[in-house]
Amino acid sequence: MLQFKDKTVLITGGGTGIGEALAYQYARRGCNVILTGRRVAPLEKVQQKCIALGVKSWCHSVDMENTATIDALVEWIHEKNFKIDFLLLNAGISQRALTLETDISVDRRLMEVNYFGGIYLVKSLKEMFLSRGVHIAVVSSVSGVFGFPVRSAYCASKHAIHGFYETIALEYPQIKTTILIPGRIHTDVSKNALDGSGKATGVMDPGQANGYDVNKCARKAIRAIAHCRHQKVIGGFDTIMVPFYKYIPWLFRLIARNVSAR
């Protein structure tokens, strides 16, 4: 089992949602926490709570869609001489629009934020990771396992995550990966989801509102990371779609076509 005490984790999207909840789980286990995100105020709030849990914590503004801000983060990490032991890639954005009603700019934006930003960061820190080793936990989704209505670009970006992080763990023995696969978790992800024109919907999906508790999600996730699980599906009844997709594909398609995608 992995030990967290006196180690350091870098969390993208650490100011809210699953990233915030996991920051506290790392901190409770004695892991120092570096938080990144676009908005400084939520990061500072989480930072202070982590410090109150008895660890060191820092925060840095980063937009995963903007490689210049990732470069600035990497430069700051080297200036501070941080040694990253764990990387949690949580920053992401979702979608709520039919495939052919989604402007291509939205597809590109979701790929940049959900996929390219993370791999750019990993490659920017490759010397550290290859020399020291690192455990990368990346937040995917059940939508990274199968396609689902009004989420085509989101599904595509999450599928890409699986391909990249499964491969890097096979190529480099010093790099471990855990792909976290949550179902509907009670966060604001649906409020921030983009419509076909690229605007945030501002709407909480009923499925999201009744979703799995984010703190329970974080506790299950940290256990999976501690035990070096390659993948971990987390959530409520909706995650039954994962085995349906794998073992009873006709039933999955029947449900997916008829279930509310909101």
Catalytic positions are: 154
Which residues contact residue 153 at a Cβ distance below 8 angstroms, ignoring those fewer than 6 apart?
95, 102, 106, 107, 110, 111
Q: How far apart are CA 195 and CA 181, in angstroms?
A: 23
Terminal-to-terminal C-alpha distance of the chain = 38
Length of the chain: 262
Which residues contact residue 194 at a Cβ distance below 8 angstroms, ignoring those fewer than 6 apart?
93, 94, 95, 96, 97, 106, 109, 110, 200, 201
Structure token digits, residue 211: 């979703």
Which residues contact residue 114 at a Cβ distance below 8 angstroms, ignoring those fewer than 6 apart?
91, 92, 93, 154, 157, 158, 160, 161
Cα distances from 194 to residues 93, 140, 153, 157, 218, in angstroms, run 8, 17, 10, 14, 25
